[in-house]
Structure 1
Amino acid sequence: MANPEKITVEGVEVDTRHWIGGERVASADGATFTTVSPIDESVIGEVSAAGEAEVDAAVAAARKAFPAWSKTSPAERAAVLRKVAEGIEARVEELGKVETRDNGALLRSHLRGVMPRVAMNFRFFADYLEKDLDHPDMEVAGRGHRERITYDPAGVVAIITPWNAPLMLATWRIGPALAAGNCVVLKPPEWAPLTASLLADIAHEAGLPAGVFNVVQGTGVDAGAPLTRHPDINRLCFTGSVPTAGVIAAAAAPNIVPLSFELGGKSPLLVLADADMDTAVDIAVEQFDNAGQVCLKGSRILVDEAIAEEFTKRVVEKSKTLKQGDPRDLETDVSALITRKHFETIDGFVERAKADGATVLAGGGPNTELGGLFYEPTILADCPEGSEILTEEVFGPVLTIETFSGDDEGVAKANDTRFGLAATLVTSDPERAEKVSAQLRAGTVWVNCFFVRDLGAPFGGSGQSGIGREGGIWSFDFYCDVKNSVFAPASN
């Protein structure tokens, strides 16, 4: 199908061609793919689909731009990144509307939190450049030599991002990568590619030099694969599933490319016997955000048996008050799933859990009133120990509730997973909070809160939830080659 080059989405004009070397570029072979809205499964438009030729061109453009960009001063880079942030802030409503149509997430969330955070991903690292990142010179003990540790930009960074929060999850890596002096090639998700194109426009208008930021759209097979194995990539970032990460790691291995992977999770929400009930219930129901399509969500609810009856009753009651429907309605709480295939995958998980003996406390199937890709907020109990629903990432609006007796058993159950992305703990005792949180195996532990993180803090997972840490100085550790220069004492 011919690519119309520009389409109008929710009143916003979006260019559907790639952004390579500061120019709009259609695929050389004319290939396109179709982006479909989860809201009603309607076709939004055709988007240029990259192959090896477009990937090669984007990487070459980034490599060409790197020497000049890497030599700009931190102050110069910061000034451009702040203009990018200002451009995003000026277009929050447009970005929110386009992404809501493209990936089905709540417009309310986009306007109030997600898109302002996208701007902050640039502004924070622009401000961070004002810090003196290089270490003070050190003296070599007993030798008189002087050592200077500096951060040198690594080169070309490839970033492959998921569909559940495509712009936010892209920019929290693009921001520090550019701030460090690197050039970027972004492959946005084929299920929700459109806001990446708008970001290219904003970056260009902000004065980002040609080739410093490039966007190649397409499938994982045709665009992602040649990008991950490209010999001129110096850093590779991926957010997505564990199986795909394994394929990417194997492709990148011959080039010895440093990797930053943020993968799946099966995160516990651990509710102790002394938990504030209102806080615990609110956090539990919050796990239905984005129809459960959130890698960090606490889908495994573990509650002390001493309060399990009251807690479960209140969580079920509150979940049934959630409004499901069109995400463009600012009153909607739960939207649709991303694709028909994903919808069927979620339903398969739930149906197999029922067959295994799970009790359905809420939901349990497609929302028959709405039809389409809407799946009821679902809560399951009495799931057999070790069953699929308790061990595999479902990535949908499905929660399980298990009980435990005492903190030690609760911690043991919380840690009984091959994942380790996040954990949430609810307790009213500060000493207990310190003790138990220290025992939880996860990259991020929230205590009496959820989904809060300063951009200066490290983020990443343990186990099969990822490789590496990013955020603040940890981002610069990854996006730079940390160099130690040793100077002999000056001769007299």
Structure 2
Amino acid sequence: MTLGIPTTDMSHALPCARHLIDGRAVESANGETFETRDPHDNSVIGTVVRGSAADGERAIKSARRAFDEGPWPRMTPRERRKILHDIADAVDAHRDELAMLETVDSGKITRQALHGEMPRVAQNLRFFADYAAMTPSEAYPDGAVLGYTLYPPAGVVTAISPWNAPLMLATWKVAPALAFGNTVVLKPAPQTPLTAARFGELALAAGLPEGVLNIVHGFGGDEVAGPLVSDPRVDRITFTGSSATGARIMAAAAEQLTPVSAELGGKSANVVFDDADLDIAVPESVKAIFAGSGQVCFAGSRLFVQRGILPEFLARFTAQAEDIVVGDPKNPSTSMGPLIEQRHLDKVHGYVELARREGGTVVTGGSRVTTGEMARGFYYPPTVITGLTNESRTAQEEIFGPVVAVIPFDTEQEALRLANSSPYGLAGILFTTHLDRAHRMAAAWQAGTVWVNCFFERDLRMPFGGQGISGVGREGGQYSRDFFTEPRAVMVRTH
């Protein structure tokens, strides 16, 4: 199969994404397919094989055989490193094609896909390849006994990735799993299958052995995802998605005591103190909620502003939100593209209607964009809501769209209480020029990541994940090594 789409014109190319199992592109066992559509205009851009439990079992069997009998787990980290760097080089060489696939499949603006996400895909591969090859392990000489730690691969990894950053988040899972010597079954989100399918082709062409990376397409529940999370031949499960789905996956995995790393939903607080530099705080706060059309798990969707600066901040924030250019993600001037699908658009607008019923005031936005060509797509404008409390459903439940509730506060203690008054705990954002306050807040904030005077700065060596219903476990650097390996203590008497 070839999924390459070199131009923005989709009229001549309707790709078909097949499963990748044991190094071959295959149809589903039941012969079924489904369509993948462009969120910009709801047009069909390709067909995808619809996996069943039988396909999931085939993929697990392939991955199990490749782990138990194949060369990949028995290669040295340096040998695996060479192949993963070659795959990263292939991603770089096909960056334009992959970015366009990401745009038409997910609605991601092409500029972001090309200059943000595809470079990060390659970085994921290179970082974990280097980390696995270069990170030392522990040795503890103690007289006549030498103790040391081995980090053998865990085995077969199920990786289930979401639709909001399709290939970047898929490789955030696949790269460390492969780097530490595991074999993988990847199930991309059914809304966004195309870049994963193309990535599988590139990985094989770059020298990845057959069966090491298997990709199955389809849906959750009892379909293709069923065996991927309940089969005893699976040794690790890594999942990014909603908290409700994460809970179901963990329940299925618990029957086999399979370890799960789950990065789930969020309702992150963004706290702006009256001493903040508004030239930084306003644009960063705009980015924190409206980047990716708000379809970001750690988006700053609860915006707490100290009361004394609320009028100025709100005026500047609203003005910048209204300056965001919503439109065709392939257009270089576009700043925000569509939502992923009709069902999700209905959900987002339903929460705006709920906010109105809860006593909120929609300052800007609040209704579907229906002008011009956007009428056929799933466009929703940046929406700013005031007049709510932190206890409202709009402020407590994950919307996953370009909707922010702006809520005033008076003191540092109140800000911290509000920030932590949520069942989610994925991220926090804080703007202040007082360094001592920043450290106090970060130390007491119940979240996996706290950004101070910035948003979405990342260091892949650091832990990423959430607490509460935002997830279980951490990944990144040593945390990924601990999860994707089976650390083993060895004690040797030397004399």
The TM-score, its normalising length taken from structure 1, stands at: 0.96
* CA deviation map 1:30-89 (0-9, x unaligned): 111111111101111211111122111111111111142111001100000000100001
- State the distance in 2 between where 1:451 and 1:442 align: 14
Matches within 5 A, 1:52-71: 52-67=53-68, 68-71=71-74
- State the distance in 2 between where 1:65 and 1:193 align: 24
Partner of 2:311: 309
* CA deviation map 1:103-143 (0-9, x unaligned): 1011110111100000000011111133243212342xxx7
Partner of 1:367: 369
Tell me, yes or no, if structure 1 residue 155 matches structure 2 residue 137: no
Tell me, yes or no, if structure 1 residue 412 matches structure 2 residue 447: no
What is the deviation of 1:290? Answer: 1.1
Summarize the Cα distance change of 1:134–1:385 in structure 2 as closer, same or farther, 3 Å threshold: closer
- 1:102 is paired with a residue of what secondary structure? helix
* CA deviation map 1:244-296 (0-9, x unaligned): 11111111111110000000000011101100011110011112011100001
Partner of 1:267: 268
Matches within 5 A, 1:278-297: 278-286=279-287, 287-297=289-299
Partner of 1:164: 164
- State the distance in 2 between where 1:489 and 1:454 align: 40
CA contact (8 A) 1:22 1:210 kept: yes
CA contact (8 A) 2:54 2:224 kept: no
CA contact (8 A) 1:270 1:303 kept: yes
CA contact (8 A) 1:153 1:480 kept: yes
What is the deviation of 1:415? Answer: 0.8
> What amino acid is aligned across from residue 316 of structure 2 in structure 1?
R
Partner of 1:258: 259
- 1:185 is paired with a residue of what secondary structure? strand
* CA deviation map 1:443-485 (0-9, x unaligned): 0000011011111111110111001011011100000000001
| The one of 438, 443, 454 aligned to 2:443 | 438
- State the distance in 1 between where 2:265 and 2:135 align: 34
CA contact (8 A) 1:21 1:211 kept: yes
Tell me, yes or no, if structure 1 residue 473 matches structure 2 residue 478: yes
Structure 1 segments, 4+ long, off by >4 Å, are 5-15
What is the deviation of 1:486? Answer: 1.6
- 1:133 is paired with a residue of what secondary structure? coil
- State the distance in 2 between where 1:15 and 1:75 align: 35
Partner of 1:48: 49
What is the deviation of 1:367? Answer: 1.4
Tell me, yes or no, if structure 1 residue 176 matches structure 2 residue 179: no
Q: Tell me the matched-pair count.
A: 483
- State the distance in 2 between where 1:440 and 1:467 align: 17
> What amino acid is aligned across from residue 482 of structure 1 in structure 2?
P
CA contact (8 A) 1:104 1:337 kept: yes
- State the distance in 2 between where 1:399 and 1:29 align: 44
Q: What's the Cα RMSD here? A: 1.4
Summarize the Cα distance change of 1:13–1:356 in structure 2 as closer, same or farther, 3 Å threshold: closer
Partner of 2:10: none
CA contact (8 A) 1:7 1:45 kept: no
CA contact (8 A) 1:10 1:101 kept: no
CA contact (8 A) 1:156 1:234 kept: yes
| The one of 332, 336, 339 aligned to 2:338 | 336
Tell me, yes or no, if structure 1 residue 22 matches structure 2 residue 28: no
- State the distance in 1 between where 2:407 and 2:327 align: 29
What is the deviation of 1:10? Answer: 5.8
- 1:450 is paired with a residue of what secondary structure? coil
Tell me, yes or no, if structure 1 residue 422 matches structure 2 residue 423: no
Partner of 2:348: 346
* CA deviation map 1:5-45 (0-9, x unaligned): 66675647845111011111111221111111111011112
* CA deviation map 1:350-381 (0-9, x unaligned): 00110111011111111132323111110000
Tell me, yes or no, if structure 1 residue 488 matches structure 2 residue 493: yes
> What amino acid is aligned across from residue 74 of structure 2 in structure 1?
K
> What amino acid is aligned across from residue 382 of structure 1 in structure 2?
G
Partner of 2:111: 108
* CA deviation map 1:291-326 (0-9, x unaligned): 100001101100111111100111011111110000
Identity, % of aligned positions: 43
- State the distance in 2 between where 1:9 and 1:264 align: 32
Partner of 2:198: 198
Partner of 1:95: 98
What is the deviation of 1:488? Answer: 2.9
- State the distance in 2 between where 1:230 and 1:382 align: 49
> More displaced, 465-474 or 27-36?
27-36
- State the distance in 1 between where 2:236 and 2:138 align: 23
**Consecutive unaligned residues in structure 1, runs of 5 or more:** none
Summarize the Cα distance change of 1:363–1:75 in structure 2 as closer, same or farther, 3 Å threshold: same
- State the distance in 2 between where 1:350 and 1:454 align: 35
CA contact (8 A) 1:161 1:188 kept: yes
Partner of 1:237: 238
CA contact (8 A) 1:459 1:469 kept: yes
Summarize the Cα distance change of 1:392–1:265 in structure 2 as closer, same or farther, 3 Å threshold: same
- 1:152 is paired with a residue of what secondary structure? coil
- State the distance in 2 between where 1:400 and 1:457 align: 30
